[in-house]
A and B are shown apart, each in its own frame.
Chain A
Amino acid sequence: MAGQWRSVAKDAVDRLLVIAKFGCFLHVTTNYLCSSTLVHGPSMLPTLNLTGDVVIAEHVSHRLGKVSRGDLVLVRSPENPRKIVTKRIVGMEGDRVSFFLDSHGDRYRTAVVPKGHVWIQGDNVYASNDSRHFGPVPYGLIQGKVFFRVWPPDSFGPLGRD
């Protein structure tokens, strides 16, 4: 009887190990190669839909420093570290960025992006909480670069610089 339990336990441990190994492999792939994300919200209209798109992001470029102006990136929000937002990089370090302070477009301000930071903005400048509100974002908060859209099917295709 004890032998039966031992073999069952051994079986369970083996299967758990397989699951753990697969989990590790999946995790490394998702964090270092490619991952899929559901993005929603109005801040990237018309590029990304309001009700939710499934996009594929790669996590290689930002580690090699190869993200640049015009790229769609996933960024950990400086206001809420548990939230990851999708925005476009408008300025790299050293760039002068001009943006309007209000929706009328009367007054505008210019900022220089400091070293080690990027300036991100949503494509829908009327409904986006981005660097115009919380300032330039440290490069270390970039999590990945969005390059492809999978859902909805009629918008299937690559995403990138306009």
Chain B
Amino acid sequence: MTQINPSGIKMAIREILSLIRERSVVREAWDVTFLIAKCFCGFHVINTYVATVVLPYGPSMIPTLPITGNLLLAERISTRFGLVGPGDIVLVRSPQNPRIVATKRLIGVEGDSVTYVVDPGKSDRRETIVVPKGHVWVEGDNIYNSRDSRNYGPVPYGLVQGKIFLRMWPPKDFGSLRNSSVKNPPSDEVQSLNKASIVFFWLKNMGYSVNRRMFDVLV
């Protein structure tokens, strides 16, 4: 076992003190902190204004989305300009619990007349409602097990947080969720084409939507 050299320790302490006095360590620490803060700000701005990753959980969007295990990409640009229409899957902050952001399908925008089954498990009773100004009507694809506008009414558009356009995980289901419909699943041809040119399709379709827009006037 080597003997601890007291003069060596003194030299080490003197060196550490001189480093701190020169402030190079402190400056480096400050630089690293600043860099982390800048990266965090940049990442956060992208997350809030461009696109975000969503991990949906729950049975309310079966068969489109399983209970768990899917990773989706949602973009926030369309919702800012009101470019969402019926058929889109959107992120909606729940009016009943503001900390939860749910994934539902947009069924109607303001002015639409929506007919919905009130309680599909118990009866076939349908009701029709006109969606008021500034609101949207959302429903889960699995109407037997979904808390949506049929429970809490039309949702103010300000609570719509993003539009889902891509499923990233699992890899076998990788593909676009744009204008996907439970009734008309995309054919094999369209699916493979989507998988091959996903970015091209998204860029091409970003400016407009097949369905009607929420706002008539584009910013």
Contacts and interface: CB of A to CB of B under 8 A. Distances in A.
A115 interface: yes
Dominant secondary structure at the A interface: mixed
A138 B94 CA distance: 8
A140 B98 contact: yes
A80 to B, nearest CB: 5
Contacts of A141: 156, 158-159
A21 B41 contact: yes
Contacts of B134: 77-81
Interface of A: 21, 24-25, 27-28, 31, 76-81, 114-117, 137-141
Contact of A139 (B38, B42, B98, B157): B98
Contact of B38 (A24, A76, A78): A24
Interface in B80-137: 93-98, 132-135
Contacts of B135: 78
A139 B44 CA distance: 23
B41 A116 contact: no
Q: For the complex of A and B, list the 5 residue pairs with the smallest distance between their C-beta atoms, beginning with the closest.
A: A138-B95, A78-B156, A76-B158, A116-B96, A140-B98
A76 B156 CA distance: 9
B17 interface: no
Contacts of B155: 138
Nearest to B157: A81
Contacts of B94: 116, 140
A122 B97 CA distance: 24
B29 interface: no
A17 to B, nearest CB: 10
